[in-house]
């Protein structure tokens, strides 16, 4: 019979070693894994995709250049009543820029570039934006369409960064929403030309809508503006049409198009 | 006339401001480091050969060692995405996963790791909001500064 002493040496210590090592190994395993339960309750604002992410998918639908061109509504430089209006308009103009890239319309891009610069000037952002608008016009002249698209993305990003630096987050949201409304109108128009459930899938955006609506409702000054109120009402109308349940039918696409077109006319133009 | 007390206050204020500047530059340095590690992961994918377009924006923050964190992101079906998390904390263990809003991880892509970064590729089955979840467990149990970048094609 082995003594307790010999047992501790031959069996207990290795056993203890295993017992101690197991939790350490488990801890190491845990560090390799991040579970949903660890992050689910940490609600953060949703990151809004940049237009290029959406247009990248639309590229795969092989939309004819003329179809893009038909949807183009090159906006003229307009005088707005306030900075929110200018920011909404700027978002809309940049969205139009992406469309002009798809249509490969040099003249439209040049005109949009000039309008972007002039609206940026009204918002005190001329010096930040001028390098982008110059590049947009140069690259459009060279026919480097992917570079033009990247430059429109960069313009949008610079505008948002500058606004956030100046603590103008509300204006930055206006740029996003202005672009999103016009972007949604463009996408729905194109899907309806040659409808398929595969294409309409891109319109499942309930949490994005939630994000925009919540943000707009939180800004007290927006509550006093009839224009902003219209946007909130419009976004609320779009919410049930753009849920993530089921297929978005041709009729629903048409309804989304009609609401976003109305929103553009009523809120994105002075 | 400046009193000894106000001298002392001024001294304290000066020290405080210096500390703030130091802390700010330290924090900035952490972010720059974390971002440069994230971009190290991105490098081969955003090259001409990789074909991914890098979004010129990033997200940053800090979290306790071993604490899960997530970026909530609208992902579009039809795109392939790469997300990279970088940290300045050496010898840390990093984890990454992409979940849908119900907590299902049903669209596993590739995962790549470097010394201070981890990346995950994902193509979602449905357009919608997803959680880019990650965790950094540092060796010294200190909080980790991180930065997240992503690209798509």
Q: What's the gap in Å between the CA of A78 and the closest CA on chain B?
A: 30
The answer to whether A201 faces chain B, any CB pair under 8 Å, is: yes
pLDDT band of B11, cuts 50, 70, 90: low
Give a yes or no: residue B134 inside a domain. yes
Domain layout of chain A by residue ranges: 52-267
| pLDDT greater than 70 at residue B5 | no
| Beta carbons of A178 and A88 less than 8 angstroms apart | yes
Q: What's the gap in Å between the CA of A84 and the closest CA on chain B?
A: 23
- By the 10 Å C-beta count (0-12 exposed, 13-18 middle, 19+ buried), A174 is classed as buried
pLDDT of the residue at A1? 38
DSSP letters spanning chain B: ---HHHHHHHHHHHHHHHHHHHHHHHHHHHHHHHHHHHHHHHTTTSSTTT-PEEPS--EEEEE-TT-EEEEEEEE-TT--EEEEEEES-TT-EEEEEEEETTS-------EEE-SSEEEEEE--SSSEEEEEEEEEE-TT---EEEEEEEEE-
Residues of A in contact with B127 (CB under 8 A): 201-205, 244
The answer to whether A41 faces chain B, any CB pair under 8 Å, is: no
Q: Provide the domain limits for residue B46.
A: 37-152
CATH classification at residue B49: 2.60.120.380
Kindly report the average pLDDT of chain A as a whole number: 88
pLDDT of the residue at B23? 53
pLDDT band of B21, cuts 50, 70, 90: low
Average pLDDT on B4-28 reads 51
How far is the C-alpha of A28 from the C-alpha of B74, rounded, in Å? 31
Contact: A57, B79; criterion CB under 8 Å? yes
Give a yes or no: residue B69 inside a domain. yes
Contacts of B54 (CB under 8 A, 6+ apart): B42, B46, B149, B150, B151
pLDDT band of A110, cuts 50, 70, 90: very high
- Residue bearing the bigger pLDDT, B103 or A6: B103
| Residue entry with tokens 């047992």 | A7
pLDDT of the residue at A148? 95
Lowest mean per-residue pLDDT among A109-113, A225-229, B7-11, B124-128: B7-11
Express each pLDDT in A19-59 by its tens digit: 455 444 444 457 888 989 888 777 678 899 999 999 999 99
- Closest-CA residue to A67 (of A163, A252, A197, A192): A192
User: What ipTM does this complex have?
Assistant: 0.82
Overall domain count for chain B: 1
- Three-point CA angle A68, A244, A172, nearest 5°: 60
pLDDT band of A5, cuts 50, 70, 90: very low
Express each pLDDT in A129-157 by its tens digit: 999 999 999 999 999 999 999 999 999 99
Residues of B in contact with A51 (CB under 8 A): none
């Amino acid at each position: 019979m082995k003594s307790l002493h010999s047992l501790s040496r031959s069996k207990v210590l290795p056993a203890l070693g295993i017992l101690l090592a197991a939790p350490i190994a488990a801890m190491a395993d845990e560090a390799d894994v991040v579970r949903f339960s660890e992050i689910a309750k940490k609600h953060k604002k949703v990151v809004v995709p940049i237009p290029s992410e959406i247009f990248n998918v639309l590229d795969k639908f092989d939309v004819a250049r003329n179809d893009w061109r038909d949807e183009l509504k090159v906006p003229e430089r307009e005088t707005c009543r306030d900075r929110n209006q200018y920011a909404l308009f700027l978002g809309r103009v940049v969205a139009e820029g992406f469309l002009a890239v798809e249509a490969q319309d040099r003249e439209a891009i040049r005109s949009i570039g000039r309008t972007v610069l002039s609206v940026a000037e009204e918002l005190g952002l001329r010096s930040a934006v001028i390098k982008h608008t110059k590049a947009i016009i140069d690259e459009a002249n060279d026919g480097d369409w992917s570079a033009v698209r990247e430059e429109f993305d960069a313009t949008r990003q610079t505008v948002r960064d500058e606004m956030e630096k100046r603590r103008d987050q509300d204006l930055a949201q206006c740029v996003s929403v202005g672009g999103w409304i016009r972007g949604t109108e463009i996408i729905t128009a194109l899907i309806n030309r040659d409808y398929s459930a595969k294409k309409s899938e891109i319109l499942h955006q309930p949490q994005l809508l939630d994000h925009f609506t919540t943000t707009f409702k939180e800004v007290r000054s927006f509550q006093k503006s009839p224009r902003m109120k219209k946007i909130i009402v419009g976004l609320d109308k779009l919410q049930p049409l753009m849920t993530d349940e089921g297929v978005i039918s041709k009729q629903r696409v048409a309804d989304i198009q009609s609401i976003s077109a109305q929103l553009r006319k009523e809120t994105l133009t002075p | 006339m400046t009193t000894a007390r106000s001298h002392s206050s001024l001294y304290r204020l000066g020290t405080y401001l210096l500390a703030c500047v130091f802390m700010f530059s330290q924090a900035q340095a952490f972010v720059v480091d974390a971002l440069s590690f994230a971009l190290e992961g991105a490098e081969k994918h955003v090259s001409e050969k990789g074909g991914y377009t890098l979004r010129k924006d990033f997200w940053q923050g800090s979290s306790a060692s071993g604490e899960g964190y997530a970026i909530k992101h609208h992902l579009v079906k039809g795109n392939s995405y790469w997300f990279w998390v970088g940290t300045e904390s050496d010898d840390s263990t990093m984890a990454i996963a992409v979940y849908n809003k119900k907590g299902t991880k049903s669209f596993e892509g590739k995962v790549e790791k470097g010394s201070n970064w981890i990346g995950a590729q994902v193509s979602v089955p449905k357009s919608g909001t997803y959680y880019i979840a990650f965790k950094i467990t540092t060796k010294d149990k200190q909080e980790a500064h991180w930065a997240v970048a992503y690209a798509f094609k």
